[in-house]
Structure 1
Amino acid sequence: MNHTPLFLTPVFQERIWGGIRLAEQFGYRIPSERTGECWAISAHPNGPTMVKNGPFQGKTLSELWGEHPELFGHFPSDRFPLLTKILDANADLSVQVHPDDNYARTYENGELGKTECWYIIDCKEGAELVYGHQAKTKEELREMMEEGRWSDLLRKVPIRPGDFFYVPSGTVHALCEGTLVLETQQSSDTTYRIYDYDRTDEHGKKRELHLAKALDVITVPHVDVQCERQVTKTDGAEITTFIDNEYFLVQKWDITNEWAVEHTTSFLLASVLAGEGELSTAAETYRLKKGDHFLLPYSFAPFTIKGNLQLIVSAPAWPV
């Protein structure tokens, strides 16, 4: 039985649309005023996070995946399956789409596809995001893209803090200005940009678009996937299950006092979004605070969380 949670050091990614809210909201030391992404729990080669406590201190999550499969219950995959991020959309992100596993495996050197979901941590008054499109056929989609009829094509929806969106591969989407989001996704970094508002970088160069591949993978017509929340209340906690499907389980844990947890999933990824408290096993007590990210290994000891805090917790789905 494993008794030590693995606390992880985030990796930060600068983006043309990034800002400083990751520092303001979580106290992170960010590399610049254009920091767009906190890769909080990652074994992806473009940003593997490192363990900062216990017997595996200094090891990256990707190293542990290869060297200690017992920590993950010998999960049947050639790579760590999930990636947790926090995104600071200080400006609009490009309108984009992600491929599914089959397409990515064929055209992206064996990469996973990218199905993801968003929990809206915070957003400005009147914020919205791009979710889906209005085209009825592939030909109509192609015409509207080629003619630049973006206001007719793109579907925008209003958002507020606490909203949750499931974004399957093939879904046209974009976060918009003034949004802070926790994203749970497949461990992939493959994105096909459709429209980038004709922006240029510091060298006056526009970012590459990927229209041909995007047309291959966009779901037409758009399918609006609704997730029905399931809420369970216990003494000391309220557990909201947002989604539980073939990719991941994603929950919000609102801890108000003390909650004894029987760990039953393969392994858990957890991010503290608010408050502070403690995680205790029979052997040790660990302090939890806003901005912490940790992984509970397979067969982790029964534990208790005590305090006043909010976490987003996820687990990968075992292949059938």
Structure 2
Amino acid sequence: MTTKSPIFLKPLFKERIWGGTSLKRFNYELNSDNIGECWAISAHPNGTNKVKSGLYKGLSLSNLWDKHQELFGFYPSDKFPLLTKILDASQDLSVQVHPDDQYAQQNENGELGKTECWYIIDCKKDAEMILGHYASSKKQLLQWVEQGLWSDLLRKVKIKPGDFFYVPSGTIHALCEGTLVLETQQNSDTTYRVYDYDRVDQNGQVRDLHLDKAIEVTTIPHQDESIDPVISKQKDATITKFVEEKYFSAFKWQINGESQFNQDKKFQLVSVIEGEGILETLDGEFTFQKGDHFILPYQMSDFTIRGNTEMIISFPN
């Protein structure tokens, strides 16, 4: 027996040196003032969500993936392909870079690479982030890193709420202070730190850098990814397509009223970033609110959403 209902998941929370308390705005109860990450839809060994209700209540997403492939349209992968997070950058994140699939599988015990994207939910006025670098060669990159010439090396861009950024593996990047982000990424937890502002952790230890690997995997020269969102309307919904690329597609659904949808993908990941509503399927009606995360399984067909809400939708390609 399988479900034709949305599969709601319990979020997991991760303390980070740069975290804060902004995730409370999503109706989450936090047990720390330094929560940096909400792992919202994850089947990674470092944190897998459990089903909140329904037929599979209490099962982990990892277990669902292994035992109920029919829910995911028999997607051709031995690993759940994506990972959805909300990040609260109360302070600057370390400057970092992620490997691609080939490098990660060879050097990180078969881990996937990490291409990701960010939707800026909120940020302080005049906020910015690090995206890319100005080095023209590996030699120059190494020289500037060794000499600490960070203002020469690092490329900064202005950001505002509603912006979207696609960040392929090999891109030097960092979120900066005062930023709240919905991140969709490959199912990976591999990060190579380039610079960490000489911070120390709770034990007074300087955090490790991974310069050799970072320089090996960085794309040189930096290649900027241009995003040209495509907006369409259907009844009371505004659909924004941000990106369709090798690993995933990402959209925003803004609904003010009622709109019908068709589950024509193998499965979709949904994160409610604003508002509330009702999702009606052949199995019944399901209420949702800001801070909820769920999967629309493969078996679902037509469904209706009623309410005033904003959602980020993603699915693997």
Aligned partners of 1:155, 1:74: CA distance in 2, in Å? 41
Name the aligned partner's letter for residue 7 of structure 1: F
AA matched with 2:125: E
Cα deviation, residue 288, structure 1: 1.2
Distance 1:44 1:53 in 2: 20
The answer to whether the 8 Å contact 2:281/2:300 transfers is: no
| Contact map agreement 1:12 1:31 (CA 8 A) in 2 | no
Return the alpha-carbon distance in structure 2 between the equivalents of residues 177 and 17 of structure 1: 8
**Considering only aligned residues, what root-mean-square deviation do their CA atoms show, in Å?**
0.8
Q: Distance in 1 between matches of 2:282 and 2:42?
A: 28
Give me the whole-angstrom Cα distance separating, in 1, the residues matched to 2:201 and 2:42.
27
Partner of 1:144: 144
Deviation at 1:202, TM superposition (A): 1.6
1:1-320 alignment, distance < 5 Å: 2-23=3-24, 25-317=25-317
SS at match of 2:239: strand
Aligned partner of 1:149: which letter? Answer: L
> 2-side partners of 1:90 and 1:243: how far apart?
27
Rounded to whole Å, the distance in 1 between the matches of 2:301 and 2:284 is 11
Q: Distance in 2 between matches of 1:66 and 1:31?
A: 31
Structure 2 counterpart SS, 1:33: coil
The answer to whether the 8 Å contact 2:117/2:164 transfers is yes
Secondary structure at 2:143's aligned position in 1? helix
Structure-1 separation of matches of 2:234 and 2:73 = 28
Checking the alignment, whether the CA contact within 8 Å between 1:2 and 1:298 is kept in structure 2 is no
Please give the alpha-carbon distance, in whole angstroms, between the structure 2 residues aligned to 1:31 and 1:46: 19
Runs (5+) with no aligned partner, structure 1: none
SS in 2 for 1:92: coil
Matched to 2:13, the amino acid is F
Aligned-pair identity (%): 59
Q: How far apart, in 2, do the equivalents of 1:223 and 1:163 lie?
A: 19
Equivalent position amino acid for 2:210 in 1:
H
TM-score normalized with structure 2 length? 0.99
Q: Distance in 1 between matches of 2:283 and 2:116?
A: 35
* Distance in 2 (alpha carbons) for counterparts of 1:197 and 1:21: 22
Q: Gaps (5+ residues) in structure 2?
A: none
Contact 1:243–1:250 at 8 Å: present in 2 too?
yes
Contact kept, 8 Å, 2:82 with 2:316, in 1: the verdict is yes
CA distance in 2, matches of 1:30, 1:41: 18
List per-residue Cα deviations over 1:256-299 (Å, max 9, x = no partner). 11111011011000000001110001330000100000001113
Separation in 2, partners of 1:43, 1:203: 30
Q: TM-score, normalised by structure 1?
A: 0.98
Query: Counterparts of 1:241 and 1:301 in 2: how far apart (Å)?
Result: 21
Q: 2: CA distance between counterparts of 1:301 and 1:166? A: 30
Q: Name segments (4+ residues, structure 1) moved above 2 Å.
A: none
Query: Separation in 2 of the partners of 1:38 and 1:283?
Result: 29
Determine helix, strand or coil for the equivalent of 1:143.
helix
Alpha-carbon displacement from aligned partner over 1:16-73 (angstroms, at most 9, x marks no partner)? 00000001x1120112000000000000010100001111000000010001111111
SS at match of 2:9: strand
**Any conservation in 2 of the 1:259–1:304 contact (CA below 8 Å)?**
yes
2:130 partner amino acid: V
Aligned residue for 2:63, secondary structure, equals helix
**Retained in 2: the 8 A contact 1:123–1:161?**
yes
Q: Deviations over 1:221-258 (max 9, x none)?
A: 00000111111111110000000111101000000111
Alpha-carbon distance between aligned partners in 1 of 2:217 and 2:6, rounded to the nearest angstrom:
38
Please tell me whether the aligned partners of residues 94 and 194 of structure 1 are also in contact (alpha carbons under 8 angstroms).
yes
Letter in 2 for 1:146: E
Q: Indicate conservation of the 8 Å contact 1:96/1:193, yes or no.
A: yes
Aligned length: 316
SS of 1:93's equivalent?
Answer: coil
Matches of 1:268 and 1:236 in 2, distance apart?
20
* Range moving further from structure 2, 182-191 or 280-289: 280-289
Q: Give the Cα separation in 2 of the matches to 1:283 and 1:178.
A: 41
Q: What is the one-letter code of the residue matched to 1:145?
A: V
Question: Post-superposition shift, 1:2?
Answer: 4.0
